[in-house]
Amino acid sequence: MYIKIIEQLIEPILLEDIDQVEIREISKNENEVEVIILAPRAFFKKLIGKNGNIIQALSTLVNLKAEMNNQKVKVTVNELS
């Protein structure tokens, strides 16, 4: 569910490079979900932004949706190897 939201939010940032990114959703328990964005290191600056502004915005938007379902989502960016 949150994968689709993240994809829609990062697509304008990465444009045609979106196919080089993998997004995984891990349910820790009923109320906690972790979304991991796996991307080549070259995309980190685009996905994290200056001072982490972009990743914070992504996390905030996803958590607004998650609150409707009484959930909390942690969004992280890791290197795709």
- Other Cβ atoms within 10 Å of 45 Cβ, number: 10
Question: What's the pLDDT at 1?
Answer: 85
pTM: 0.87
Question: What's the pLDDT at 57?
Answer: 93
Q: What residue ranges of the chain have pLDDT lower than 50? A: none
Any idea what the Cα angle at residue 1 is, between residues 34 and 6, rounded to 5°?
A: 70
Question: What's the pLDDT at 12?
Answer: 93
What sign results for the dihedral spanned by CA atoms 23, 78, 58, 64? positive
Task: Tell me the C-alpha distance between 67 and 16, whole Å.
Answer: 31
Question: What's the pLDDT at 40?
Answer: 94
